[in-house]
Amino acid sequence: MPFPRNKREMQALQWECCDFILVSGDAFVDHSSFGPTIIARVLTDLGYHVGVIAQPKWDSSDAFQVLGQPRLAFLVSSGNMDSMVCHYTVNKKRRHDDAYTPGGKTGARPDRAVITYCGRIREAWGSVPIVVGGVEASLRRFAHYDYWQNRVRRPILFDSGADLLVYGMGEKAIAEIAEALDAGLPIDQITYIRGTGVMARELPDDAVVLPSFEKVSEPTREGKRAFAEMTNLIEKSANPFKAHPTVQPCGGRYFVQNPPQLPLTTQEMDDVYELPYTNQQLGGGPEITGMSEMHFSITSNRGCFGSCAFCAIGMHQGRIVSSRSRASILNEAKRMTQDPRFKGIINDVGGPTANFLHPACAKQLKTGPCANRECLFPEVCPNIDADQSEFAEMLQALRQLPGVRKVFVRSGIRYDYLMADPTRAAFNELVCHHVSGQLRVAPEHLSDRVLHYMGKPKFKQYDQFVQKFNRASEKHHLKQYVVPYFISSHPGSTLQDAVVLAEYLRDHHLEPEQVQDFYPTPGSRATAMYYTGLDLESFQPIHIPKGREKRLQRALLQYRNPKNRSLVIEALKRCGREDLIGSGRKCLIHPQNQRPKQHKRSRRNRKGGK
């Protein structure tokens, strides 16, 4: 069933009104890679009429009246990304394109889109029920540090004026909300559904109480310590098997987070991804950036037990992995082969981490993730189920389908988990059949101290993986290489650490075309470290690169770029490493008119990190 965008299209479907109207900051693409689309399809499958207002003009309330008033509720999302991340670089400069807007044009959504959209809906329709969800709402559900304003903001329900918040992957929650609303229950009485958050005037019984917004927003040592403590408590609240609400006082009221929904079962995942997505962009027009890649990529799993400090996937999708059945994945691939645009190449099969196809251990499906132990950090847990033969068999079955010439894995793997697999089946399958010349993996840094703050394994594990990968590639006469991603200026990283990393790049003839400069976005542990200046385990101060030092660290990782010359010289002088300025082979910066001696470099050496 199509999703009408105005009353004319609604009347063509012979609808008197929409049950739900979904408002999104993205162009609406009927594809399972888009969270708002999944929600719309789930509700349609349940028999509800869903209309869509995609990327509405927000300078007045007119655009929010094109479908009339919904019978049950407005559903509001910024889209697949936080709107501030979508708009601004880490240097707080406006981006030149928008990956989720037709033609890549910018300016199609407001800053803090969830708050703005809710305000316009209230102007148009008064007390109509509003439910917010998606990444922006989910990761801002508690008090959060806002990098762009350099201050702590209130839980987003308070600023948006919405009635109900859905956090995480919301299929189960939205189905329960729809059922309650359809039964006539007022939205202010829908306070009990897992995977949702509400505002309350009384403290619930048996709740875990966080430090108040007023306390964590104080720009004092005590306030920042409270913010760090809050971050640790929020992380523990993500266990769906701990049935206590988590509450944060704010302005005489409370934000109440109900316990998370249980992870989807394999059958439930199959049901979600086998809904009748058309893979078409609503309204036509220029295709959004990257849609050609999405058309022929397959989501196989969700959730992540990697727990990297700079990533908020665990807070949004949870640490317990859910996956689809092999039959469901193969059926999607078979449908791809019937598409006249399909050239025989499946661009990607994966999720947050491609080789996570089951929970880390059986215990997670009974009591949830361990409260005081990580699955892969600082070492792989001895209780982990590292058998990835299921992953290997799935890839093998895909590449053997008629009409499929190649299946790539581009969404990222955890090499430490792959190395822990006693069967070696996944490693061999990946190396021999699923690398597109380059396998991009993410050691993130060289310093074990910085890696500790990142929640990543020691660098020696990366070296061991590269050696094993290269031996296997040579054995099978394959010209393919590992290309590492690195992050500059992560909390805990000093300028001296960046110099050592630059020396590693020099010694291995790596020239990163892009470098990921640490971006403090809502919801991650690393963002809490950035704001508080504290190690979240010991609460001791750590070094936080800010301002010009962030530019210097990034420049060091691209020291060969002539545009970075003055920054690299400044960084080396600050570190007392003038020995790296000169004409020697080990120098990073050479005299103005002299280029360093060029070595023959393979394709691996001409490319670089993220």
Q: Is the predicted pLDDT of residue 123 greater than 70, yes or no?
A: yes
Q: For residue 609, what pLDDT is reported?
A: 39
For residue 427, give the 3-state DSSP assignment. Answer: helix
- Supply the pLDDT for residue 411: 85
Q: Give the amino acid at 39.
A: I
Determine the pLDDT at residue 1. Answer: 66
Please compute the mean of the pLDDT values over residues 260-281 and round it to a whole number.
96
Cβ-contact 355, 417 below 8 angstroms: yes
Is 603 in a helix, a strand, or coil?
helix
Interval 367-384 mean pLDDT: 93
DSSP 554: H
Residue 605: what pLDDT?
A: 40
Q: What is the mean pLDDT of residues 577-589?
A: 95
The residue-averaged pLDDT of 121-136 equals 98
Question: What is the model's pTM?
Answer: 0.94
Which of 12-21, 278-287, 362-371, 405-414 shows the lowest mean pLDDT across its residues? Answer: 278-287
**pLDDT band (50, 70, 90) for residue 600:** very low
Asked whether residue 83 carries a pLDDT value surpassing 70, the answer given is yes
What local confidence, expressed as pLDDT, does residue 20 receive? 98
pLDDT for position 608:
40
As a whole number, mean pLDDT of residues 6-15 equals: 96
Q: Can you tell me the mean pLDDT for 506-524?
A: 91
Task: Give strand pairing partners of 323.
Answer: 301
Q: What is the pLDDT of residue 283?
A: 84
pLDDT at residue number 171: 97
Q: What would the two tokens of residue 3 be?
A: 């999703």
Band the pLDDT of 514: cuts 50, 70, 90: confident
Q: Given this model, what pLDDT does residue 594 score?
A: 54
Average pLDDT in the chain: 94
Model confidence at 2, in pLDDT bands (50, 70, 90)? confident
Would you say residue 310 has pLDDT above 70? yes
Query: What's the whole-number mean pLDDT along residues 125-154?
Result: 98
Q: Are the C-beta atoms of 327 and 397 separated by less than 8 Å? A: no
Of 93-107, 278-292, 318-332, 396-410, minimum mean pLDDT range: 278-292
Percent of the chain whose pLDDT exceeds 70: 97
Relative to beta strand 253-257, strand 246-250 is antiparallel
Token code pair at residue 143: 């008090």
Given a contact cutoff of 8 angstroms between Cβ atoms, the answer to whether 305 and 225 are in contact is no
pLDDT surpasses 70 at 155: yes
Q: 335: Cβ–Cβ under 8 A, 6 or more apart, which residues?
A: none
